[in-house]
Amino acid sequence: MADRKIGSQTIKFNKPPSIIGTGTVVGPKEGIGPLKDYFDLIINDDLYSEKSWEKAERKMLKEASEMAIKNSKIPFANIEYFISGDLLNQIISSAFTARELGSPFLGIYGACSTIAEGMGLGAILIDGGYADNLLVATSSHFCTAERQFRFPLELGNQRPPTAQWTVTGAGAAVVSSDIKNPRITYFTFGKIIDMGEVDSNSMGTAMAPAAVDTMIRHFQDTGRTPDYYDLIVTGDLSSIGKDVAEDLMKQKGYDISNNYTDCGIMIYNNKQDVHSGGSGCACAATVTCGYLFKQMLEKKYNRVLLVATGALLSTTSSQQGETIPCIAYALSLENL
Amino acid sequence: MADRKIGSQTIKFNKPPSIIGTGTVVGPKEGIGPLKDYFDLIINDDLYSEKSWEKAERKMLKEASEMAIKNSKIPFANIEYFISGDLLNQIISSAFTARELGSPFLGIYGACSTIAEGMGLGAILIDGGYADNLLVATSSHFCTAERQFRFPLELGNQRPPTAQWTVTGAGAAVVSSDIKNPRITYFTFGKIIDMGEVDSNSMGTAMAPAAVDTMIRHFQDTGRTPDYYDLIVTGDLSSIGKDVAEDLMKQKGYDISNNYTDCGIMIYNNKQDVHSGGSGCACAATVTCGYLFKQMLEKKYNRVLLVATGALLSTTSSQQGETIPCIAYALSLENL
């Protein structure tokens, strides 16, 4: 019966949905990073002329969404669903953006893996004949995340070397039944993997085993090997987590050292004082919807495996002594 | 192309998925209410022998999930996905339960509408050929919700008459391609509707317009009229919100007064001091997976329209002066 599922947790799309347009907005810090030329809009003020960082975050999400629709060249009225989630409690960035957009809304939560969870679900809706065009988006903001998950910024707490910098930005993509490159060919679901990490300033090491689990599952389910892809890119493991993932993959018999990188490493340069690298929903989202999408349009990459990672902790779970449950969703993006 | 979508936001299932088993766990207060005989397990202690209410909540969610699988009579290994969300920040009840269950996980957030959002998505995965069996579940807990969204319980704040009582409990359902009654025949997505309500102690009035919008959309998309259904049941509008919804429907030309009720009214009796009635993710979930499912198995109802409602606010959005964005998802449950 489940003829579109292969192996244990991978969907193979019969009619691979297309990404027909993207939109990205990033903050000032991301706007001077190595990928600055690939973002549609760089804001020059973390508050983006709003009264709170939370309002600024959802303004970015709304604008990235509108840009994605504009760039896709389809009328706004053709957007059938808005799939979105974000780090803020009760995904308020997404819900308030959904209110502004007015499209039917599907709220999801995968922490920093949201862009892949959303694009995977979106591709299912398109491939299955439930929609022709829909919008997937997510956002994060250094200031909203830091004060919600860690400390008030005003305290000026020192950050350990393993800490990552939450990307300020938003990324959005229109997924469509129109046939254009790049296409979403496979979607591998993730399981919760929790290896006992408790330090919310060491997310890369917490999430690396989840990325590895999903990558291996993807290769086993599809029969592909790492060298099939021009690029394998995890969401936000950053420098420490990337090394862990590469080592764990090697232990399992997969050498990804030649074609593997991480969005959290790509988005900032070494001099930007971000410690281990970037993180947050907008990390994988802006790199995917900005850099990767545009490189695929230009055929600089033709086969990309995006493995977006998420740490599903809350301050409450941490305060109650819990470890960090992590997940990763993998999307195969290909020019066909 | 989108041949399984009808009207503006409704999915018509070609092979209507079945609900083949459910599990429900409720707290002591729900366990003396009018529906007590329809729940699988009544716990006699809000802490459920755990060290925190949050841990108690996810213990209920895990047990309801395991019961649903057991009652569905399929092996645990056949559960391909676990779709879940809850009210706690970063949906920790769901994420930690997913860790225990070990199934591939899809985290969603629809506040108290989660059971319908999840069952709708689950039905799409089954109908589309992406899975044969999956589990949908959600939970809430009076004590975790009250202290997260309103005040520490220890303060003993007085609650206004419009306030609702968050249901302590968890509901889970196995959705399957096996052909058994009841079936999920239609799923109508919701839009964010925000009529300007700001009072987090008046959720019923905030959510009623969202329920009305989705109900009308459902009737328009399907061509059905309210009298098609044996029962139309909203998620957690409770007594005040139900009256508002009924009035608004009448203004729009739909008389639902003969066959309409609300889970928040059904789950408690008048003497239980819950003010306007029940709310929370577990409200619609336990009533649907407990009472409605069992009544449909016995053919006391054959056509039920479940319209689960959610208020997508957070404490941060309220503190920043925002109104309450609301949503409702409708599921058509039928014995075929």
CB contact under 8 A, A317 and B124: no
pLDDT, tens digit (0-9, with 9 covering 90-100), for A217-251: 999 999 999 999 999 999 999 999 999 999 999 99
Residue linked to tokens 């997969």: A254
pLDDT at A261: 98
Chain A contact present for B130, CB below 8 A:
yes
Domain coordinates in residue numbering, chain B: 5-176, 183-334
CB contact under 8 A, B313 and A105: no
Q: Of 3.20.20.80, 3.40.47.40, 3.30.420.40, 4.10.91.20, which CATH number belongs to A5-176?
A: 3.40.47.40
Predicted confidence (pLDDT) at residue B221 exceeds the cutoff of 80: yes
pLDDT at A200: 86
pLDDT at B200: 86
Distances, alpha carbon B153 to alpha carbons A49, B157, B159, B271, B274, in Å: 38, 7, 11, 21, 15
Q: Residue A50 gets which letter from DSSP?
A: S
pLDDT at A122: 98
pLDDT at B1: 73
pLDDT, tens digit (0-9, with 9 covering 90-100), for B136-188: 999 999 999 999 998 899 998 888 999 999 999 999 999 999 999 999 999 99
Do B206 and B276 meet the contact criterion of CB atoms below 8 Å apart? no
CB contact under 8 A, A90 and B99: no
Number of CB pairs, chain A paired with chain B, less than 8 A apart:
196
Q: Which of A9, A62, A90, A105 is the mutation pick for testing B, counting most B CBs within 10 A?
A: A90
Chain A contact present for B125, CB below 8 A:
yes
CB contact under 8 A, A96 and B322: yes
Q: Of 3.90.78.10, 3.90.1150.10, 3.40.47.40, 3.40.50.2300, which CATH number belongs to B183-334?
A: 3.40.47.40
Q: How far is B152 from chain A (nearest CA, A)?
A: 14
ipTM above 0.95, yes or no: yes
Side chain identity at residue A163, one-letter code: A
pLDDT at A52: 97
Contacts (Cβ under 8 Å, ≥6 apart) of A158: none
Q: What is the DSSP string of A179-237?
A: --SSEEEEEE----B------TT-HHHHHHHHHHHHHHHHHHHH---GGG-SEEEESS-
Q: Which of B10, B81, B109 is the mutation pick for testing A, counting most A CBs within 10 A?
A: B109
CB contact under 8 A, A109 and B107: yes
Chain B contact present for A287, CB below 8 A:
no
Q: Whose CA is closest to B248, among B205, B207, B202, B212? A: B212
pLDDT, tens digit (0-9, with 9 covering 90-100), for B296-324: 999 999 999 999 999 999 999 999 999 99
Predicted confidence (pLDDT) at residue B46 exceeds the cutoff of 90: yes
pLDDT, tens digit (0-9, with 9 covering 90-100), for B182-206: 999 999 999 999 999 999 889 999 9
- Residues A326, A248: Cα–Cα separation, whole Å: 16
Q: What is the mean pLDDT of each run of 10 residues along chain A (336 residues)?
A: 93 97 98 98 97 98 98 98 98 98 98 98 98 98 95 90 96 98 98 95 96 98 98 97 98 98 97 95 98 98 98 96 97 98
